[in-house]
């Protein structure tokens, strides 16, 4: 009986060893940063005393690190890539890059990370689209909903959806770069609207 058990254990070990040698290595995981270029030009004088950006919000799978894609033939289905991830959640990446971009414009004297008292402007952003489009060419799609509030006012003085769709090359690295370019387009539009609001 003991010899039979020993034989079975030895056989199982051989099978497991054979599987480990014959099986292919698991795919490598890839992690991507988000990089948005600074503003092409800056304001000669700040237009605002201070601006507070609330933490960027995102719901469902848009608040996860896996990169997302949508096939042109199935536009209602959003899918995850299994081995391609952002280094942190897209909402946090957008928050960090937007802060850096606004600072590069010189539009405000101070960009607040917390809300002390009543800042001159409060920006509330919701990330609603952040995905790769595949099928008829590779593209990236970014969409942000933004509410702008003045100090002491609960009703937004501007509610707008900012959207950018740009072509991307076939590699995932190029796709990550295209996301940065699309966000740069969105950030430029937001900056222009902030400047316009100051005129009224």
Q: What is the mean pLDDT of residues 82-95?
A: 97
pTM given for the model: 0.85
**pLDDT range class, residue 17, cuts 50, 70, 90:** low
SS3 assignment, position 1:
coil
Lowest mean pLDDT segment, chosen from 23-27, 51-55, 102-106, 166-170: 23-27
Sorted by where each begins, the domain ranges of the chain are 30-198
DSSP state of 115: -
Please tell me the predicted confidence (pLDDT) of residue 18. Answer: 46
26, pLDDT greater than 90:
no
Q: Is 20 left (phi over 0), alpha (psi -120 to 50) or beta?
A: alpha
For residue 99, CA distances in Å to 39, 52, 113, 159, 164 come to: 12, 10, 9, 19, 19
- Please report which confidence band the pLDDT of residue 10 belongs to, taking 50, 70 and 90 as the band edges: very low
Topology adopted by domain 30-198: Rossmann fold (3.40.50)
Shortest CA distance to 56 belongs to which of 153, 130, 167? 130
pLDDT score at 152? 79
- Give the model confidence (pLDDT) of 116-167 as tens digits: 677 899 999 999 999 999 998 999 999 999 999 998 788 999 999 999 999 9
């Amino acid at each position: 009986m003991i010899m039979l058990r020993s034989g079975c254990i030895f056989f199982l070990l051989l099978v497991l060893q054979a599987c480990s040698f014959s099986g292919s290595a698991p795919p490598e995981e890839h992690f991507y940063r988000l990089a948005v270029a600074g503003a092409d030009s800056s304001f000669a004088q700040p237009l605002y005393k201070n601006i507070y950006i609330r933490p960027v919000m995102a719901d469902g799978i848009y608040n996860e690190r896996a990169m997302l894609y949508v096939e042109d033939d199935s536009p209602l289905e959003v899918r995850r890539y299994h081995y391609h991830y952002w280094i942190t959640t897209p909402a946090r990446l957008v928050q960090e890059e937007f802060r850096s971009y606004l600072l590069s414009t010189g539009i405000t004297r101070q960009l607040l990370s917390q809300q002390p008292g009543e800042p001159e402007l409060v920006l509330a952003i919701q990330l609603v689209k952040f995905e790769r489009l595949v099928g008829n060419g590779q593209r990236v799609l970014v969409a942000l909903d933004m509410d702008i509030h003045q100090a002491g006012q609960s009703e937004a003085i501007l509610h707008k959806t900012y959207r950018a769709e740009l072509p991307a090359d076939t590699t995932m690295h190029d796709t990550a770069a295209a996301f940065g370019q699309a966000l740069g387009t969105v950030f430029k539009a937001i900056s222009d609207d902030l400047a316009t609001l100051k005129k009224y």
